[in-house]
Amino acid sequence: MSESDQQAVPGGNGAGPVEPGIRVLAQFIRDLSFENPRAPDVLRSAGVQPQIDMGVEMNARGRDDGLFEVDIKLSARASREDGPVFFVELLYGGLFAIEGVPAEEMEPVLLVECPRFLFPFARRIIGDVTTDGGFPPFLLDPIDFAGVYAARKAQAEGSGVVVGNA
């Protein structure tokens, strides 16, 4: 068998290199909070759009079984001049099997690629909970996880802190 014939084959004997791959094994809500402190009065105030402050965090950790847990934490605080409108915070997690990724590339995979898989589901949950709270659905704009990761890494390098829990 030539070297070109020994390419990675799913379910093969492991003699060839393993092709990089990410599999989502499970997704789950780890924590969800929605606060509507001035209901029902705030629901009647129409007109002025609230100011929205967003927060995004990503964390990852390896497990003893070789799998990885990745969490994205999304928070949104809506307020107007007369006070708070709503606050929503979601910690959404996923269990991932990652193969064929070199150790030096694992952190960006865990903190950029894995959150990209989770985001559409987390976005839907936030939209649903704000609707259930009496508001129009709050649909998050797409997030540039690579940009968030790069900014976090630059900030950590400036302070001497290691990025991520991967």
Give per-residue pLDDT as tens, 128-166.
Answer: 999 999 988 999 999 999 999 999 889 888 766 555 544
Percent of the chain with pLDDT over 90: 66
pLDDT level of residue 1 (50, 70, 90 thresholds): very low
Q: How far apart are CA 15 and CA 121, in angstroms?
A: 37
Q: Of the candidates 25, 20, 19, 21, which has an alpha carbon nearest to the alpha carbon of residue 118?
A: 25
The answer to whether the CB of 77 falls within 8 A of the CB of 35 is no
Judging by beta carbons within 10 Å of its beta carbon (0-12, 13-18, 19+), is residue 53 exposed, middle or buried? exposed
Domains of the chain (ranges; CATH) run 19-158 (3.10.420.10)
pTM of the model: 0.80
Q: How far apart are CA 142 and CA 49, in angstroms?
A: 20
5-50: pLDDT as tens digits: 444 444 445 555 668 899 999 999 999 999 999 888 888 766 778 8
Higher-scoring residue by pLDDT: 1, 33: 33
The answer to whether the CB of 70 falls within 8 A of the CB of 118 is yes
DSSP 117: H
53-73: pLDDT as tens digits: 999 999 999 999 999 999 999
68-125: pLDDT as tens digits: 999 999 999 999 888 899 999 999 999 999 999 999 999 999 999 999 999 999 999 9
